[in-house]
Amino acid sequence: MERRKFLKDALKAGVGMAVGLTIPEVASAKGAGKAPPLPWPYVKLDPKKVADKAYRGYYEHECCDGVFAAIITELQEKVGGPYLGLPLTMMWYGGGGVAGWGTICGTLNGAALIFNLTCKDFKPMIDVLCEWYQTTPLPTYVPCEGPYCKKPFPKSVSHSPLCHVSVQRWCKIATVYFGETVPYNSKKRSERCARLTATVAAKTVELLNAYHFEGFRPKKIKGKQKTKMDCRLCHEVTMKELS
């Protein structure tokens, strides 16, 4: 589609939804307010700016929405169009591994949606992010505000995309680091997740910039038995037995 027509259609869609229509109005506007097909346009974003926003966003609507809203508000401002139709709290449900169920880490869930909206290769992009997430000592972001401003914080390797596993592994390491028990419901653990939200938001933008502007092509990861998680986390088996 021609870019001008795309933006025109997109703008119509976005504006139609942004004015707060009632249900019958939305239903009758069917067609007129139809969202353009994916992927939607992406412009180069500043990972540092997005990270700062995501850090604050965590303390408003948790991890998943923190990543999502930090990036979407930038795209709303710089691209507009269909992005304007997305409610800023729509990913709040993802907090704590989906409403506290400890499943997929909310930061990954929020980022996955952004990849789906903006990349044809969204699945391998998600693979690259999850693989980085579960093998890297995190969080690396250090805030310039808040109760732990500029203070270093313990990092942990999650070995898993799961919220429960990621949080508990960090709590264990933090307990040794601070020399006192750091439980999952502590302020320190919240701060860790806020920093993680900022760290993952920045990484997501780095990957998007690389994909859209630097020719980066993500490599797909093949799963076993329908999962790409590290099997040894829950099963007492060696990788050799599994392959």
Report in angstroms how near the CB of residue 233 gets to ligand HEC at its nearest: 4
Tokens 């939804």 correspond to what residue?
17
Cβ-in-10-Å burial (0-12, 13-18, 19+) of 69 comes to: buried
Q: Rounded CA gap, 35 and 181, in Å?
A: 49
Instruction: Kindly tell me which residue out of 229, 236, 240, 243 binds ligand HEC, with binding defined by CB under 6 A.
Output: 229
Q: Which is nearer to ligand HEC, 89 or 227 (CB)?
A: 227
Instruction: Please give the helix or strand (H or E) that residue 148 lies within, else none.
Output: none
C-alpha triplet 43, 32, 65: angle, nearest 5°: 45
According to DSSP H, which parts of 19-142 are helical?
Answer: 23-28, 47-78, 106-118, 122-135
Q: How many CB atoms lie within 10 A of CB 181?
A: 9
Q: Is 239 in the site for ligand HEC (CB under 6 A)?
A: no
Q: Which is nearer to ligand HEC, 210 or 229 (CB)?
A: 229
Q: Is 224 in the site for ligand HEC (CB under 6 A)?
A: yes
Instruction: Kindly tell me which residue out of 89, 135, 227, 238 binds ligand HEC, with binding defined by CB under 6 A.
Output: 227
Beta bridge partners of 104: 162
Report in angstroms how near the CB of residue 232 gets to ligand HEC at its nearest: 8
Q: Which is nearer to ligand HEC, 166 or 199 (CB)?
A: 166
The 103-142 contact track toward ligand HEC, x by CB under 6 A, reads: ----------------------------------------
DSSP three-state, residue 83: helix
Q: Is 160 left (phi over 0), alpha (psi -120 to 50) or beta?
A: beta
Q: Which is nearer to ligand HEC, 87 or 223 (CB)?
A: 223
Q: Is 242 in the site for ligand HEC (CB under 6 A)?
A: yes
Q: Is 44 in the site for ligand HEC (CB under 6 A)?
A: no
Tokens 């099997």 correspond to what residue?
231
Query: Which pair of structure tokens corresponds to residue 228?
Result: 């790409």
Q: Rounded CA gap, 242 and 202, in Å?
A: 34
Instruction: Kindly tell me which residue out of 235, 236, 238, 240 binds ligand HEC, with binding defined by CB under 6 A.
Output: 235
Select the residue whose beta carbon is closest to ligand HEC and give its number. Answer: 231
Q: Which is nearer to ligand HEC, 43 or 231 (CB)?
A: 231
Q: Which is nearer to ligand HEC, 29 or 231 (CB)?
A: 231
Site residues, ligand HEC (CB under 6 A): 224-225, 227, 229, 231, 233-235, 242
